Amino acid sequence: MTGALPLGSPPGSRGPRGHDRVERRTGGAPEGTQVVGRVFDILDAFVTVAPKLTVADVSRELGLKYATAHRILEAMASRGVLSRDRDSRRYSMGPRLREYASSGRVDEFDVAHPYLEALTRRTGETSHLAILDAGSAVYIDTVAGARLLSAHRHVGRQMPLHSTGVGKALLSTLRAAEVDAVLGGELTRYTVKTIMDREVLHSELERIRSLGYAVDDEETEDGLVCVAAVVLAASGKARAAVSVGGPATRIRQDLELIARAVMSCADELAKASGWAEL
């Protein structure tokens, strides 16, 4: 929404990015309707003003009382629609929004589901399809194996790029400078095996490019190993990544067989979907 109209602003005042503000008149609209409108105005501010905002920023930009802005922001944060940084006290778009966005992408990737099912039948383990989205690997489809993987890896879940198999597979298609830009600041440690050094990570990505597959060797979760391969378009751009994951003892025992199955699935999916022609 361009030029959000802040509540309670005088006619002719200036809004975010210089747009003329016009007073929003509720015309006796129910309070609930007003709150919904304010929620959308706040979301719009994260797009038109800045990706991170304080209560004061929102109050000023939308013409809301500080207490009102704070109450709505906290309610949105409590539901995961927004995230709040405790140190800077700035809010940003939260994980629930990414879940909503990823669910809208599923249709585009529906073609992948039968291939995930076949991969799960072939390996007996849980398979996933993930995409690169705003600095994270986001699961957009999954097929559970007979022996279930961790329940938290569900559709819409954001996972780190530097430690997961799908994340490293997706990063392997980028140049070094692009990798650093996507990862941003310091790398987060999840287990004692998580790669924390950028140079080590870049070396790992080179190895992945050479092998054709990536391994999360208990780098995100103790006792869990995942094997992943990227689904490429003809341009070399990653469309997605597929993976198989399970308990470390089982996956390590059949690592080479699973890696071949995962790479085969990724290649077949690229061809069947037409992505290989893009």
Say whether 49 sits in a helix, a strand or coil.
Answer: coil
C-alpha span between 42 and 56 (Å, rounded): 12
Give the pLDDT band (50/70/90) at residue 185: confident
- Best CATH choice for the domain 98-277 from the list 3.40.1180.10, 3.30.460.10, 2.40.50.140, 3.30.450.40: 3.30.450.40
Per-residue pLDDT tens digits for 64-76: 999 999 999 999 9
Say whether 241 sits in a helix, a strand or coil.
Answer: strand
Q: Is 118 exposed, middle or buried (0-12, 13-18, 19+ CB in 10 A)?
A: middle
Q: Which residue has the higher pLDDT, 233 or 150?
A: 233
Please count the residues of the chain: 278
pLDDT for the residue 12: 38
Q: Where are the domains positioned within the chain?
A: 16-93, 98-277
Per-residue pLDDT tens digits for 142-162: 898 876 555 445 677 789 999
- What proportion of the chain, given as a percentage, has pLDDT over 90? 55
Say whether 23 sits in a helix, a strand or coil.
Answer: coil
- Domain at 16-93: CATH architecture: Orthogonal Bundle (1.10)
pLDDT surpasses 80 at 9: no
Ranges 37-51, 113-127, 263-277, most confident: 113-127
pLDDT surpasses 80 at 4: no
Give the pLDDT band (50/70/90) at residue 11: very low
